[in-house]
A and B are shown apart, each in its own frame.
Chain A
Amino acid sequence: MSDTAERGSAPHATERLDRVIIRFAGDSGDGMQLTGDRFTSASAMFGNDLATLPDFPAEIRAPAGTLAGVSAFQVHISDHHITTPGDAPNVLVAMNPAALRNELPRLEPGGSIIVNEDAFGDRNLRKAGYSENPLTDGSLEGYTVFEVPMSSLTLGAVEPLGVKPRDAERSKNFFALGLVSWMYTRPVDDTLRWIGAKFANKEQVREANIAAFKAGHAFGETAELFDHPYEVDPAPLPAGTYTNINGNTALAWGLVAASQLSELPLFLGSYPITPASDILHELSKHKSFGVRTLQAEDEIAGIGAAIGAAYGGHLAVTTTSGPGMALKAEAMGLALSLELPLLIIDIQRGGPSTGLPTKTEAADLLMAYYGRHGESPLPIVAAHTPSSCFWAAIEAARIAIKYRTPVILLSDGYLANGTEPWRLPDVASLPDISTTFATAPNHTTDAGDEVFWPYLRNPETLARAWALPGTPGLMHRIGGLEKEDGSGNVSYDSDNHERMVHIRAAKVAGIARDIPDVVVDGPDDAELLVLGWGSTWGAIDAGVNRARQKGRKVAKVHLTHLSPFPANLGDVLRRAPKVLVPEMNLGQLSRLVRAEFLVDARSVTKVRGVPFTAGELESAILDTLGGHP
C-alpha cells in the first residue's frame, strides 16, 4: 500500500508523441464504440487533430467471444493536421481473445497490446480459435504486451456500490477507457461529466461506470506495468469554435441549414437502413426547426412522400443506402420528369444486394449516373470528409432548388460514422439559396388567355416555372408522361420528345457553368495527377504527401461535383502526364473520365469494406511512377 501511495504522489515523467493511433476492440456487447467515441471526444476537447474509423459487424450481438462478434474503433490523434484514421495502430486494446486474433494483423510491428487478461480463459480462447494461449505461448514476442485483469479490477471497484457481478462486468469498458486516458494524459473531467449525464437516470450504472473509469485511471498511475504516460499536444488548428462531428450528423445539420437558407420547410421521407438511419434519427429531433420526418413503410414510399412534399413546396429529402437506391429508381425518374427539387442521399455501403451493411464502399457512382431507365441525367454531389457532409447538403439543395431537379448526394459508411474536429462556420456567412415561386400566369394563348405553363423555362438555367398548389389561377397538372415543351400537357409527339430529352440533358450539363472549376493541388510540372472523389480524400492527401516527401512531383484533384463535371476537368486531366484514380469500387470514376475525356486514367481499387490507407496509396503512386526512387 505504501508503495502505491508513494508512486501516486510522484508524478510520472511523460513522453511526448506527435501522434498515436489506438484501436479499441472487443465483443459487440463490450461497448467499444462508446469507449472509442469518448476517448475521441476527450482528445477533441483537448485540441488534438483527429480522425476515426468505427468498424463493427452487421449483427447487433453475434455470439459472445466469437471472431464474428468483434467490434472495433480506431482513432488517430495528433499534434498536427491529419486526414486519415491512420494506417497501422500503435496500440491495440483487446478486451478478449477474439478481438486480439482479429485485430492483431493490423497492429504495427512492435506495437503495444493491452489485453483484458481475465477474458483469456479456455472457453474464450477456444471460441477465438486459439489452441494455445497467445499470452503465454510466445506468439506475441516482438510486441509490448500489457496484461491487465480488467474484469476483476472492475468488479473490485464497483463491489462497494452493491452492483451485481453480472452488471459490474459491463463497466469494464470504462476501466479500459480510464486506463488509456491515463496513458495518453487525456483530461478526465469531460468524460466524468458525460457519464453523469448519459446515465443520469440510472444511478447505480452511473456510479459503477465512474468507479470503473477512475479505477482504470488509477491502475495506470499505480501499477508498475507502465513506465510513463504519453502526451500528444494540441494541434495548431485555425482559430475558431470546434466540435467533433460525424458525417451523418453533419449531413443532417446541413439539411437543416439548407432549409433555413432556402426558406423552405424541410421534409424527410425515409426508411431505416444502415448506415443512413442516423440522419433520420437526427432530423426527427429537430421539430423546432419545422422539420417533418416520415418513417415510411418502404424505400419507395420514402421517396414518394418526399416527391409529394416537394410538389407542396418543401425542401424534400429522402435518405438511404445502396439497396434503397435501387428501389427508388423509378421514383427518381418521376421526380426528374416532374422537374421538382429533391435530394436523394445515398450513404453507400458494401454491395451488391445486402452486401456488407456496416462496411464502407463507394460503388454506387455508376448507379447514381445511370441507374434509371430512359435518358435520365441527374446532378451528383459527393462529400469527402465527415464535416464536408454539411456543405455537400447545402450545395445539393442549392442545385436542386435553382435548377428544379432531383440531386443525388453520395456519402458512405466511413464518412457517416467517422468523426473529425470541425471548425464551425459563421451562420451569417452561409449562402442564400432561396427561390421564387410563380404567382401569376406566364403565357398568353393564341386566343389571348393568360395562362400558366409549368414547363416554361428560365432561359439561363432552363429551370421550369414552379407554382405551388394553393396559388390561385395557376392550377396545372404534372405527371410522368412526356410533356409538351412549355405547356406541360401530355404529348406523344416525336419531335417534342426528342426536344424534351435534350432539354433535360442540357439543363443538367449547364450546371457546369455554376460550379467551381477544380483546383489542382500540386506543382505545375507534376509527373502524376491523382484524381479522387468521396471519402478517399484523406488517404489520397496523406499518400500524396508521403510521395512528395520522397521527392516525387505529384498533384491531386478531388471532385465534389461528379455530374456534371467541373468545366475545366477535361483540360486538367489531359495536361497531366499520368492520371491515377483511387476508388472504393472497381474503377467507376476512371471509366467515366476515360469515356468523357479520352484520358488514360489508371484505376487503383479497394473493396475490402475499409478505407484506403495512406501507405496503400503511397505505394500505388510510386508504382505508377515507375519504381521507388
Chain B
Amino acid sequence: MTDLIPVTTRKDWSSDQEVRWCPGCGDYSILAAVQLLMPDLGVRREDMAFVSGIGCAARFPYYMNTYGMHSIHGRAPAIATGLAMARPDLHVWVVTGDGDSLSIGGNHLIHALRRNVNITILLFNNQIYGLTKGQYSPTSELGKVTKSTPFGSLDHPFNPLSLAIGAEASFVARTHDLDRAHMLETFRRAHEHQGAAFVEVFQNCNVFNDHAFEGVTAKSVRDDMLIPLRHGEPVRFGSDGQHGVVMDAQSGARIVEVADVGEDALLVHDEARTDPGVAFMLSRLARGPYEPTPIGVFRAVERLEYGSEVNRQLADAVASRGPGDLASLLRSGSTWEVD
C-alpha cells in the first residue's frame, strides 16, 4: 500500500447528480472553481466533507463527489463543528448563503469562527433570498425593494467581513464569482488555514438580484473598483496601479491617488497582524459594491485550533491517568460491600 494521493481531475470530484441551479447563476462558476481546485489540494475525495444548510447555495454538496450533508437552515456551522471535532482527519467545508448563515444561522457562524474549529466556510453572498423567491436578506442594501419590502427595506445590512472579524475569525477573505483564478487562490488559502476560515464570495443571482456586484466585478470596471490585497505589498489598484489606500489615525482607511501621496505613504497589507483593527477598517472601506472594494485575504493569523485542542486534552488525560476503565469509574464514589 502507498500513501500517495491518487491523481484526479475535476470529473473525479463531480457527482453524478444533475446540477439544478438557474441557468446563468453565479453558483456554477463557484462550483467549477471548487471542483477544479480539489485535484490540486493533495487530499483524497473520501477525506473531504461538504456540509450545507438551506438555500440555493446549500445544494452544493450534492454536486461534489465527496462525503456531504445537506442539513437544515442555518445549522451547517454547528454540524460541521461536531464533524470536525469528531474527525480531525477530515477536511470539512461549509457552503452557505447570506440568509443561511447571517440570518437564521448567525449565531452558529459567529461561534464557529470564535472557536476556530478547523472548517472552511464559503459564504455565497448574493444579497437576496433566492430559494424562497426574492425577499431581502441581511446583506441587502437599505431601501431594497423586494416582495417582502414593497416600500423599501428598512433593515440596515450586515457587512459579512466586519462581522467575521468582530467574531474573532482567524482567517477572513473575499472573492467573487467572475474571477476563477482569484477564487482558486482564495479557496486554497482558506483550505490551508488551520482553524475556521471565512470566505465571502460575491455571487450573482441573475433571477432575483441581477447585477448586484456588477459595479465592482464587471471586467470593464474591475481594475478601478476592486482592490486586490496582497500580503506584504502596498495596497494599490487601477490599471496602472495609480490608486492606493492609506491609513492614518485621523481618517482611517481612505483611497488616494498614488501620485499625490507617493508610494511610501500607502498602507502595506499585513494579513498576519494580530490586531484586527486594520483588517476591520479595510472591510469597511467600501460602503457597498458600488465603491472600490478590497478582495483577497484580509486576515490570516495563527490561533489554537479547537479540534486539536480538544484532542490534546483527551491525550493529556490518557497520558496522566491511563485510558479510562469503566469498572473503576463505577467505583469512583464512596462504595460499600454487602455480603
User: Which A residues have a C-beta under 8 Å from some C-beta of B?
Assistant: 41, 44-45, 47, 190, 234, 237-245, 249, 253, 256-257, 260, 265, 267, 269, 286-292, 294, 296-298, 300-301, 304-314, 316, 330-331, 333-334, 338, 423-425, 427, 469-481, 489-490
Contacts and interface: CB of A to CB of B under 8 A. Distances in A.
Contacts of A296: 78, 111
Interface string B308-339: 00100110111001111011011101111111
Contacts of B46: 469-475
Contact of A330 (B67, B69, B72): B72
Contact of B69 (A287, A338, A489): A338
Contacts of A330: 72
Given A308-B79, A311-B83, A477 B337 contact: no
B80 interface: yes
Contacts of A297: 78, 107-108, 110-111
B62 A479 contact: yes
Interface in B67-125: 67-72, 75, 78-87, 89-90, 107-108, 110-111
Contact of A308 (B65, B70, B86, B323): B86
B51 interface: yes
B176 interface: no
Contacts of A47: 336, 338
A45 B338 CA distance: 10
Contacts, number: 207
Contacts of B62: 477, 479, 490
B329 A256 contact: yes
Nearest to B322: A288
List the 6 shortest-distance A-B pairs measured between CB atoms, nearest first: A308-B82, A479-B70, A304-B78, A305-B82, A289-B324, A308-B83
Contacts of A310: 82
Nearest to B335: A243
Contacts of B80: 308
Contacts of B327: 427
Contacts of B108: 297, 300-301, 304
B338 A286 contact: no
Interface of B: 15, 17, 44-47, 49-51, 54, 61-62, 64-72, 75, 78-87, 89-90, 107-108, 110-111, 310, 313-314, 316-318, 321-324, 326-327, 329-331, 333-339
Contacts of A290: 314, 318, 324
Given A239-B338, A309-B85, A288 B317 contact: yes
B11 to A, nearest CB: 14
A244 B107 CA distance: 40
B338 A292 contact: no
Contacts of B314: 287-288, 290-292
A418 to B, nearest CB: 15
Contact of A331 (B72, B90, B324): B72
15 contacts: A190-B334, A242-B336, A243-B331, A256-B329, A267-B86, A289-B329, A298-B107, A308-B83, A311-B82, A312-B82, A313-B87, A469-B67, A469-B83, A470-B47, A473-B46
Given A249-B333, A267-B82, A310-B82, 18 more contacts: A190-B334, A242-B335, A256-B329, A267-B85, A288-B324, A294-B85, A304-B81, A305-B78, A305-B81, A307-B79, A309-B83, A316-B82, A472-B44, A475-B45, A475-B66, A477-B50, A477-B62, A479-B69
Nearest to B111: A297
B109 to A, nearest CB: 10
Nearest to A252: B329
A78 B67 CA distance: 58
Contacts of B90: 312, 469-470
Contacts of A253: 329-330
Contact of B15 (A265, A308, A477): A477
Nearest to B46: A472
A477 B69 contact: yes
Nearest to A422: B330
Nearest to A297: B111
